[in-house]
A and B are shown apart, each in its own frame.
Chain A
Amino acid sequence: MQNFWQRFLGNPRVALSMLWLAFIVAVAAAAPLLAPTSPFAIVSKPFSPPFGDFLFGTDSLGRSLLAGLIHGARTSLLIAIIATIAAVAFGTLIGAIAGFYGGLIDDVLMRVSEFFQTIPAFIFAIVLVAILAPSAESIVIAIATVSWPPIARVVRGEVLTIRSREFVQAAIVAGQRDMPILLGQVLPNALSPLIVTGSLLVANAILIESSLSFLGLGAPDLMSWGFQIGAGRPFLRDAWWLVTVPGVAILVTVLAINLIGEGLNDALNPRLRDQ
């Protein structure tokens, strides 16, 4: 295990990404302390440029961009992480059952997941949020609904190969029941691809959440990075910072999570990388 952390954090891209992510998480956690006033509060005259009274300036209504960013980090991360956990939990359940039992169950579950995969993910998410009325919960549901099929497929593939391994047969011969075999023998060995896919899913979830908010389908009472970009878009030529600052925040955070996912993959499968 020590070896794993050495390989993981020894990669400079991963180390930098982890630093950035830790910073964002800290900011999100401490949001009420860092920016005690509501991010929707009007604090100054509109369009004050960055590095004046306010670090990142103010937007078209005179709201502090920095306060918005701080609270937006909270929204984006929270929604992305909850949605990912939901998608991973559901996808793992479906994939594990399909892979472990095979046959008709597998056929039915995989056809269902294919049905979800054939619908363009983002359009599907928009439709879901529109039907459920925009709120934090409906965004989580929408993201989880469009994200679980790839997880299910990854888990199913892993379970299929692990199920035929001899230690699983040994457990059957020992008289273990299905659930302990699935939870104790099979799934722990499917963990590494699951962790990698799951971490990449967080980045994807942040993107979907931002896109929904950009289109005005975000939670109306929550500040978010996508909402900031959407609100700043008409003034792109007069006040460039309105779009640029939250845009860069999204870019760097998504990039950091992707690099961490890649780093996890390299660290969990060291031999693959070198071959």
Chain B
Amino acid sequence: MSDAVLAIEGLCVALPSWADRPLAVDGVSLEVRRKEFLCVVGESGSGKSVMAKSILRLLPEPQVRVTAGRIVYEGQDLLALPPDNVRAVRGGRIAMIFQEPMAALNPLMTVGRQIDEILEAHTGMRRAKRRSRVIEVFGDVRLPEPERLLASYPHELSGGQRQRVMIAMALALDPVLIIADEPTTALDVTTQAQILRLLKELQGRHGTAILFITHDFGVVAEIADRVAVMRQGKLVEEGSASDILLHPQHEYTRALVDAVPSLTPRRAAPNAIALPTEQPLLSVLGVEKTYVGRGGSLSLGRRQVPAVAGVSLKIAKGSALALVGESGSGKSTLARCIVGLERADRGAILLEGRDIAGLSRAQLRPYRQALQMIFQDPFASLNPRWRVADIIAQGPIVNGTCRKLALDHAAELLRLVGLDPKAADRYPHEFSGGQRQRIGIARALAVKPKLIIADEPVSALDVSVQKQVLDLLDELRTAFKLSMLFITHDLRVAAHVCEEIAVMKDGVIVEHGATVDIFAEPRHEYTKALLASVPGRDWQRQLASRF
């Protein structure tokens, strides 16, 4: 087709011998058309990033290398070009935005100079001309005070500002195509919404084509003109955004769309409402925690970072409370204080009426069984050198259960979390992320806790796996009559599992109430902003109205 900016034809990319499959990208053909916003969606390991990197020849060769296919840009095969010509295309005509802006920017160079360098390398502009161009693109990406920001270093900017600088860098040479590899995944929800809006606006203004890689169908719904779905290196479906989002044909696409946590708030189960007279399982009263920066012995002033600034909340027996907030809101610190990994500076944490806030680790030991935690990163939370059975049985054994009994119980727990009891004798590295998180859940359940604190338990997982793990948590909660404190940055996830939500910002709870009420009528400005930032809201409403 004549209006194609870039055509990928039968691309195959080989993986090194230790990988789980021979080809990262397996015969993908795809076109990016002029002025279009093309989203490539897929789960981790689907080969979407590898495909994007092979366009600009950024693969870690020779381990990962293109074995077949062509990538045609302006009639030339990019894969056959000599390195010098590739360099002219790279950055000049095709630009790339990466996932982690902090890692993609040179920390020792001002951001202004980093863009200046690109202009210097690709154009014959004079210094003054280059400077005005940099200020122009900074203005273009809506960075405040462009003149001042020129002289800033990456660490002086916020995550959102850094990603704006990356976009400005990509825009500097007026490229025909921008490849964006999960550019908003590392950002907070509200920042993500801003960046998405900015990209869409810039694309409309400059007529650049954008190839956008993402795993989140919500993001797709916000911005895409056309969508391509990838799975295990193959293209499974391709079509216009409205077709794919509302009428997915392939069953894999349908499964992905179904797995997106819906925005329908969860209603309180009638039997879960605690009697007002009943003592809450956990009360947090005015907890404060300030981190004192450990300056070198020569530095005079010590930096103080208030992480939690006076938080109070209650969790009734059998209920689930979601603590929602963006990074730096203090939600994880609060969780760590409750579970005893940190000590609160002030305030009380009452577990069934007894204060556990000031206790030392030894004094806390008797209460450990009641409080358990599920961790965020399934790859870091299991000891790689222990067998699964030992990992799960560790808690009961420490608490005095005989070893044989604890191991038998571990096998039983594995069945309960949906794994084969035979898994007990294997090591964590043999399991996928979702399976590892199930093992983590089994470990938390092993000591028969009353309260489970789940710290972003699904944020490291693929969307399709997220749903399964959330459903499992939900099931177990009713089966074991557990209470849960669920920490997340994602309102969709919170709505799915908890009937009560507390929104946290800058160390304080700004809004607290039933999920239904908060979704229907958010009172605080910040809650409103969070709700408005959930990617793909309109699409979900459309989906919901169809049924």
Contact = CB atoms under 8 A, between A and B. Distances in A.
Nearest to B372: A173
A175 B375 contact: no
A176 B373 CA distance: 14
A189 B385 contact: yes
B382 A167 contact: yes
Nearest to B390: A184
Nearest to B60: A275
B381 A175 contact: no
Contacts of A174: 368, 372, 394-395, 398-399, 443, 447
B371 interface: yes
A166 B375 contact: yes
A173 B394 contact: no
Contacts of B341: 169, 172-173
A104 to B, nearest CB: 11
A185 interface: yes
B418 interface: no
A270 interface: yes
A145 to B, nearest CB: 27
B384 interface: yes
B60 A169 contact: no
B371 to A, nearest CB: 7
B447 A169 contact: no
A173 B381 contact: no
A55 to B, nearest CB: 47
A173 B380 contact: no
Nearest to B453: A173
Nearest to B449: A173
Interface string A158-196: 000000011101111111100010000100110000000
Interface string B393-421: 01100110000000000000000000000
A274 B373 contact: no
Contacts of B375: 166, 169-170
Interface residues of B, number: 31
Contact of B340 (A173, A180, A270, A274): A173
Given A175-B368, A175-B395, A175-B398, A170 B385 contact: no
Contact of A173 (B63, B373, B383): B373
Interface in B346-387: 361, 365, 368-369, 371-373, 375-377, 380-385
A177 to B, nearest CB: 8
A171 B394 contact: yes
B380 to A, nearest CB: 5
Contacts of A271: 18
B10 interface: no
Given A274-B63, A275-B60, A170 B398 contact: no
Interface in A7-21: none
B22 interface: no
A165 B368 contact: no
Task: Please indicate which of the listed interface residues B375, B377, B399 has the most CB atoms of chain A within 10 Å of its own CB.
Answer: B375
Interface string A198-240: 0000000000000000000000000000000000000000000
Contact of A170 (B18, B361, B371, B381): B381
B339 interface: yes
Contact of B380 (A167, A172, A185, A275): A167
Contacts of B339: 173
Interface string A249-275: 000000000000000000000110011
Give chain A's interface secondary structure class. Answer: helix
B16 interface: yes
Contacts of A166: 375-377, 380-381
A170 B369 CA distance: 12
A177 B281 CA distance: 26
B383 A167 contact: yes
A176 B340 CA distance: 13
A271 B375 CA distance: 27
Nearest to A186: B383
A189 B365 contact: no
A185 B440 CA distance: 16
A189 B384 CA distance: 8
Contact of A175 (B18, B63, B369, B443): B369
A274 B61 CA distance: 10
A275 B59 CA distance: 12
A189 B375 CA distance: 19
A179 to B, nearest CB: 12
B383 A185 contact: yes
A192 to B, nearest CB: 11
Q: Which of B365, B373, B383 has the most CB of A within 10 A?
A: B383
Contact of B399 (A165, A171, A175): A175
Interface centre among B18, B361, B380 (most CB of A within 10 A): B380
B58 to A, nearest CB: 14
A188 B390 CA distance: 15
Nearest to B368: A175
Contacts of A175: 365, 368-369, 395, 398-399
24 contacts: A165-B380, A165-B381, A166-B376, A166-B380, A166-B381, A167-B380, A167-B391, A169-B381, A170-B375, A170-B443, A172-B341, A173-B340, A174-B368, A174-B372, A174-B394, A174-B395, A175-B365, A175-B369, A175-B399, A180-B398, A189-B385, A270-B18, A274-B16, A275-B60
Interface of A: 165-167, 169-176, 180, 185, 188-189, 270-271, 274-275
Q: Which 9 A-B pairs have the closest CB atoms?
A: A166-B381, A175-B368, A174-B395, A166-B375, A167-B383, A166-B380, A188-B385, A175-B365, A165-B380
Given A167-B380, A170-B375, A176-B398, 6 more contacts: A167-B383, A170-B381, A173-B373, A174-B368, A175-B369, A188-B383
Interface of B: 16, 18, 60, 63, 339-341, 361, 365, 368-369, 371-373, 375-377, 380-385, 391, 394-395, 398-399, 440, 443, 447
